[in-house]
Amino acid sequence: MTAPHSLLVTGTIGIDTVETPSARAERVLGGSAAYFAAAASRLAPVRLVGVVGDDFPADHRRRLEGLGPVDLLGLETRVGAKTFAWGGKYLLNMNERETLFTELGVVADAPPRVPAAFADSGLVFLGNTHPAVQAGLLDQVPNRTLAVADTMDLWINVAHDELVHLLSKVDGIVLNDSEAAHLTGERNAISAGRRILGYGPKFAVVKKGEHGAVLVHRDGVAVVPAFPAEEDMVVDPTGAGDTFAGGFMAHLARTGRTDLEALQTALSWGTVMASFTIGAFSLDGVAKATAADLEARYRLFARHARV
Ligand code: AMP
């Protein structure tokens, strides 16, 4: 049996401490896979694969369990290990951020195992984590029809070769413009995207923060603006990238399509999810929006912004 439309995500499940110019959130639930699942599960069921240590707070586990159609069969707890923890501080413009600390903990150990019941997944999202771990995960999902990865500066710096190897195995990559420039040496988002296609993927989504995103695909280029957010709408941008990816992948999963037109619509869903995420700390922005809120914002955005 295969499950061509099942969406599997892996990445970090972590404990975040976030400072903004006006507020601070201490040891809240975060991590790339947690944010992704919070957004994707608003549109389609999600299978989550990840590891935490035995210090993972019970409240955070309950929060994950309460997300809706997120299957936590692949969430492993390793005794004697520490959960991934990350601290970040936003600058006054709320766009740039500084990483204060990254404690890999259990993420630096053996990668999580994909449960047998998840091995038939059709769509795979490799959320931000070590590229060797991402590649190890991918090998455990042999029937996939679409694999998309995320990455970030840390991995471009410390695991460049593993990342290039990973790119030869995935269909798409989602990364921000500074990371794309860092990886390829190209400052222009489209040029950087094209350079990335040279490593193997069929498409690259280059995110440009408040200026939207560019999809560079073998079949063409598409752009999407960001949802216009005034200053008072932005409480905490953490997770915007992961929830963008969640909306993007879940739209593909629920439609079963991966052509250029579907990818364009998926970009809009990603943008909508990210716009809710930035309105609150942790997963709250995207998890607490009602289905009607999501739909209304998608309609507004698609009418005015989509090409
Ligand atoms: P984003 O704002 O979309 O880049 O995602 C931020 C989330 O990614 C936070 O919840 C962090 O816990 C997590 N994160 C930060 N650094 C890393 C890293 N090096 N690898 C994996 N996840 C990370």
* 79-115 tens-digit pLDDT: 999 999 999 999 988 888 999 999 999 988 888 999 9
Residue 207 within any structural domain of the chain: no
Q: How far is the CA of 87 from the centre of ligand 1 (A)?
A: 9
- What's CA 119's distance to the chain center, in Å? 20
Which is nearest to 9 in space by CA: 143, 153, 162, 112? Answer: 112
Q: What is residue 117's three-state secondary structure?
A: helix
Q: What is residue 108's three-state secondary structure?
A: helix
182-203 mean pLDDT: 97
On the question of pLDDT at 307 being above 50, the answer is no
Residue 284 within any structural domain of the chain: yes
Predicted confidence at residue 25, as pLDDT, reads 97
Q: What CATH number is associated with residue 24?
A: 3.40.1190.20
Q: How far is the CA of 86 from the centre of ligand 1 (A)?
A: 7
Q: What is the pLDDT of residues 27-70, one digit of tens each?
A: 999 999 999 999 999 999 999 999 999 999 999 999 999 998 99
Give the nearest ligand 1 atom to 237 CA. 2
Q: How far is the CA of 30 from the centre of ligand 1 (A)?
A: 8
Q: How far is the CA of 233 from the centre of ligand 1 (A)?
A: 21
Contact (CB, 8 A) for 234 and 182: no
Q: What is residue 285's three-state secondary structure?
A: helix
pLDDT band at 129 (very low <50, low <70, confident <90, very high): confident
Closest residue by CA, ligand 1 atom 5: 239
Residue 217 within any structural domain of the chain: no
Predicted confidence at residue 4, as pLDDT, reads 67
Q: How far is the CA of 4 from the centre of ligand 1 (A)?
A: 28
**Total number of domains in the chain:** 1
Which has more confidence, 228 or 162? Answer: 162
Nearest-5° Cα angle at 85, 164 to 177: 40
Give the nearest ligand 1 atom to 97 CA. 2
Predicted confidence at residue 113, as pLDDT, reads 93
What range does the domain containing 146 cover?
A: 3-173+227-305
Residue 129 within any structural domain of the chain: yes
Give the nearest ligand 1 atom to 176 CA. 4
Residue 41 within any structural domain of the chain: yes
Closest residue by CA, ligand 1 atom 14: 31
Q: How far is the CA of 219 from the centre of ligand 1 (A)?
A: 30
* Number of residues that this document lists for the chain: 307
Residue carrying structure tokens 């860092």: 182
Give residues (CB < 6 A) around ligand 1.
12, 14, 16, 30-32, 35, 86, 102, 128-129, 152, 154, 238-242
Closest residue by CA, ligand 1 atom 9: 31
Question: Considering the entire predicted model, what is its pTM?
Answer: 0.96
Q: How far is the CA of 10 from the centre of ligand 1 (A)?
A: 12
Contact (CB, 8 A) for 36 and 13: no
